[in-house]
Amino acid sequence: MYNWLTMKKRTAVYPGSFDPVTFGHLDIIDRASKIFDHVIVGVFVHSAKKHMFSLDQRVAMLKTALKGRKNVTVDCFEGLLVDYMKKKSSKLVIRGLRAISDLEYEFQIAAVNRTLSPEIETVFLMPRQRYTYLSSSIVRDIAHFRGDVSKLVPPHVSKAIAKLKR
């Protein structure tokens, strides 16, 4: 069993498709990096989603957005999160909760992960209030209709989206 009081390095994994990365994601990552010794941002391939950006592009965008954060690394994976967690020797999953509507889905995922790997704990973090409405889906929808996403994503991501819209 994982002991929160040990002096062992605490590595947490923040999984997601990050398609695209938003200021809400970055807020959760910043909060997590103050709590845990090491945060791995795990970009995964979501087989049911049609992605706006390739896996390599999403990883590159995150690395640019997170440059200079010493205890945060970006990685990618395919398959079950619990298998990835074992590979990374982590027992802590970070998930963001924007609104009560997220809770039911996130609770289900946390319960499934714990069923598959009982030692895994999920830590839920809430973003700052100004990001509670923000999701990658909303950014994609706005971008689809050629709307301005510059207040929702980092500048390099906004530029990449603008190139797609041409």
pLDDT in tens, 106-153: 999 999 999 999 999 999 999 999 999 999 999 999 999 999 999 999
Domains of the chain, residue spans: 11-165
pTM (two decimals)? 0.91
Q: Residue 20 in 3-state DSSP?
A: coil
Catalytic hit among 8, 9, 46, 49? 49
| Mean pLDDT, the chain, whole residue set | 91
List CB contacts of 32: < 8 A, sequence separation 6 or more.
12, 14, 39, 94, 123, 125
Name the pLDDT band for 2 (thresholds 50, 70, 90): very low
| Whole-angstrom distance, CA of residue 87 vs CA of residue 48 | 24
- pLDDT over 70 percentage in the chain: 94
| 155 upstream amide cis, omega within 30 of 0 | no
Catalytic hit among 25, 91, 95, 140? 25
With a cut of 70, say whether residue 42 has pLDDT above it.
yes
Q: Examine the residue annotation and report whether 98 is marked as an active-site residue of this protein.
A: yes
Q: Examine the residue annotation and report whether 46 is marked as an active-site residue of this protein.
A: no
Q: Examine the residue annotation and report whether 63 is marked as an active-site residue of this protein.
A: no
The pLDDT of residue 50 is 83
Catalytic hit among 58, 135, 136, 140? 136
Mean pLDDT value of segment 11-38? 96
* CA of residue 145 relative to chain centroid, distance: 25
With a cut of 60, say whether residue 156 has pLDDT above it.
yes
List CB contacts of 34: < 8 A, sequence separation 6 or more.
none
List CB contacts of 122: < 8 A, sequence separation 6 or more.
92, 93, 94, 95, 106, 109, 110, 113, 114
Q: Does domain 11-165 have CATH number 3.40.50.620?
A: yes
The pLDDT of residue 68 is 93
Measuring CA to CA, how many Å separate 4 from each of 50, 89, 118, 140? 38, 15, 15, 38
| Whole-angstrom distance, CA of residue 100 vs CA of residue 93 | 19
Assess contact for 132 and 99: CB atoms under 8 A: yes
Q: Examine the residue annotation and report whether 144 is marked as an active-site residue of this protein.
A: no
Name the pLDDT band for 158 (thresholds 50, 70, 90): very high
Catalytic hit among 58, 91, 95, 98? 98
With a cut of 60, say whether residue 59 has pLDDT above it.
yes
